[in-house]
Structure 1
């Protein structure tokens, strides 16, 4: 089912197929929006109304879900390596769609007890946020970057830059797009429509067009002729245990952590802070 030449042979495409893979990486980043803070922010006030939770209680549930997701993501990255990006792509979008659908149905069933079941809603939202963050904010970006890394070597910087530009534009517009979706269909209708698009549309596109590596398809990295082996870039390899203790890693990790923490907190409360 996931053979490299199914449903078609990419070697017959009249251009380097890595550029199609780059578009699929862009699609993966777009598909991650339901699990990104920029995509969840528009749902915070409707969720508070449905669950009876305060902004603080909902943000605590979000913190617990996000932190737990972050703890298990390293293992998920190794799972992507074992399964292959194509299989992981299909499974992740399907699981994210199922998570959104299940969360809507559970909250609809619990809604009549909103005034009396604050602990239940806290646990439910923490588990729901764990799942949407794991599949959306975590796995899909990992898959997108894995695809770019496997299909590009000399042109990797250009491909990553294009992915980053589109990613930035998408995330900038996401709060407005999600807010319009909530205005049109309410929070539950919005999530159900996103689940439908992800579960049927994106999953099908991933299966049809995604491929794990150029070598598996009989192509060479970057589309260079005369070799089907991976192009080698001069790098200094370090064991993971040594790398995580290096000053370079700690500086970059702390910088990204500080940036992500502040941006996530501000974006999550975008609706409640908006009127102010």
Structure 2
């Protein structure tokens, strides 16, 4: 299922800020929007998109990820067509809600949920492979999207992206997709049943293994460990989305000529370094405690924000996004597998759905908060970015306290 989950994650790109940001200038020019009004539309769309994600996780727990994925992909294609047909800010806001809910949120969450049902001991490694594939696709996507917009129109470009998602994913759902290894007589991590004694009898009976822990969503979010692991990812989404979403006006404000292409190039370098970081940190996260890796990620995030705040050239912006890619790769490789290991598989869909809700909410707030900060600062992105860097340092300190939560009492 790793190739299927990887392709699912890649196909979230039309709902990811790295692609949406390439349409920033086109949206504002064609629909007559300011940076603040466009950011507000993105805030409303993304924030409301975060609210139903926990329920998507519950649906996946009940119906299985296969059926849920088919529904989500069909809806995501419709969402891209909605953005493509938007002629005012209300329609664009609706489109933002749909692509952020069904693409960046639901489809991305389902890809991670699927891997958590198929892997345990090597979960961080396979998660890193999945996200590495996403990073490679993300590295190419900004320049491809900019070319697609120039070769057609921004409306045609978004429609093509949505249709491509359906063409790639739905045939796999109909043929190769399976919910759990037990459904076809296999076992976790694709290892011989005798490799782990505790899985031998489970394999013979073709039933799911009993999780060593089985936190409910309520129990998980009442632990300090949940927030130590979740907050670095939330901040990463908030700040990273803000920097990507505003990359074109940041470069324009720095006086960079050809700022549209320069923005795409900066996003490409972010994806390249993200790929390297994930490939390196994934296997490490299977062996090193998250209380070590998450603070490193937080401090690198703070450094990237400071570089962006002080940037006066295209090279500085690229450097900022490269450092952020390194930070985000460590966070991605560490947080998702840690959630599965700390809180178990039984309610993983609900827990992962709630975690995704928080992350998507962070991505909603980031662009708007930075845009308002820029407006209040007289047109400078520096003060709000420096404030975000200070928050990143605080969260890095908190994540150093990450420890295995005590087993919940029945």
Query: Which consecutive unaligned segments of at least 5 residues does structure 2 have?
Result: 194-199, 255-410
Show the 5 A alignment for 1:191-270: 191-223=158-190, 224-225=192-193, 227=203, 228-231=206-209, 234-235=212-213, 237-270=214-247
Quick one: structure 1 residues 65 and 234, their matched pair in 2 at CA, closer, same or farther if it must change by over 3 Å? same
Deviation per CA, 1:152-181: give whole Å up to 9, x if none: 223323212212322333334432232222
Helix, strand or coil: the match of 1:274?
Answer: helix
Which of 185, 189, 194 aligns to 2:152? It is: 185
1:12-161 map, 5 Å:
21-105=1-85, 107=86, 110=87, 121-161=88-128
Q: Deviations over 1:125-157 (max 9, x none)?
A: 221101000011101111111111111223323
What's the CA shift string for 1:189-235, capped at 9, x where partnerless? 11111122122332223222211112222322333346134355644
Matches of 1:173 and 1:232, distance apart in 2: 41
Contact 1:181 1:190 in 2 (8 A): yes
Range that drifts further, 226-235 or 135-144: 226-235
CA distance in 2, matches of 1:192, 1:147: 27
The normalised TM-score by structure 2 is: 0.55
> Can you give the 5+ residue segments of structure 1 that lack an aligned partner in the other structure?
1-20, 111-120
Offset of residue 103 of structure 1: 2.9
Q: State the structure with bigger RCO (CA 8 A, min sep 6), 1 or 2.
A: 1
Stretch deviating more after TM superposition (177-186 or 263-272)? 177-186
Structure 2 match to 1:6: none
